[in-house]
Structure 1
């Protein structure tokens, strides 16, 4: 059993190292874009299903409360938390529309829609992203494997090089934490020219 545990951690480490080698520059691009969104009065709208719904809530909390430094709250909303909205849309219309309806109601041109799907093929995530693309609202996608149908749909696309859902989810949250840290530093810390210059 100890070898089984060791093998899992080895797979996690391998996935992280491969991701860093291929995609670290994307984390900087995404964080810079999010920081610009916040500076312009925009907000993040984050959404996904299952474990990705939990990630959306987790990421939103890091921005609204704080991450590592004391700083003002930053506007981020998880679209997977309002059970009355989700169940009413799912019941009256279709589960595929639960994010699109919320984005229609809440998203503005200066905002960013951040969809998370390990497969890249979740119908309700895709529908939300398509709405935003049509309305020229900036889109960010987190997926795994080859990005699935989210590829070509998002302005910024981050894929985790794995076919294992657990590994994809694990690296998603690490990547999100790095983005949170970078945004904090861009707006309030070492990368802010008003502070360092």
Structure 2
């Protein structure tokens, strides 16, 4: 496949994701996240591999700034602290790492944004369960169908693909838009 075809296919997939249903889910997520951050309640973001990098990217945009000068926002990328990640995973297990961090940093009224292209990542599922136990809203960013994460979510945003690189391309567009809109609401 040529680069030109690859980019055309990517653009087609992004257009396929541009539905009223996706817009409604994203708007609901923006509202929940903005409300939590306005009250200085945490936004905890987690994922594995490329989704872990996306979680750190989101935290960087919200703690730092996306497009506007504003106060720092209470956003933490779970798993980003290697001392915590390796200590817990070595002494216990990796599947419970994010849940343990939700127990430490989560707060009633906060939000967990779990990113899993399959929707079946064990550590993201456990984080969602821990967040619900803490009284946090759970937003899932997944691939088509939502996997086992779907039923644990208050808001599920599922990219219309089962191919990981394509899902991640859509996720990047969606979370950049979410960051932009959350920042616009909170920058005042």
Return the match for 2:11 from 8, 13, 30.
13
Q: Which residue of 2 aligns with 1:100?
A: 99
1:110-189 pair list within 5 angstroms:
110-189=109-188
- Other structure's SS at 1:95 match: coil
Aligned residues between the structures: 187
- Other structure's SS at 2:177 match: helix
**1:121-172, CA deviations, whole angstroms, 9 ceiling, x for partnerless residues?**
0001101101112332111111002110011101111100012100111111
- State the 1:13 CA deviation: 0.8
**Based on CA coordinates, which of the two structures has the bigger radius of gyration?**
1
**1:163-188, CA deviations, whole angstroms, 9 ceiling, x for partnerless residues?**
21001111111100101111122222
**1:25-82, CA deviations, whole angstroms, 9 ceiling, x for partnerless residues?**
2221111111111122212111110000000000000001000111111110011211
Question: In 2, Cα distance between the equivalents of 1:108 and 1:101?
Answer: 13
| TM-score, structure 2 normalization | 0.95
Aligned residues of 2:99 and 2:127 also touching (Cα < 8 A) = yes
- State the 1:110 CA deviation: 2.1
Question: In 2, Cα distance between the equivalents of 1:16 and 1:102?
Answer: 33
Question: In 2, Cα distance between the equivalents of 1:169 and 1:111?
Answer: 25
Question: In 2, Cα distance between the equivalents of 1:51 and 1:113?
Answer: 18
Gaps of 5+ in 1: 190-197
- Other structure's SS at 2:152 match: coil
* Runs of 4 or more consecutive aligned structure 1 residues displaced over 2 Å after TM superposition: none
- State the 1:103 CA deviation: 0.7
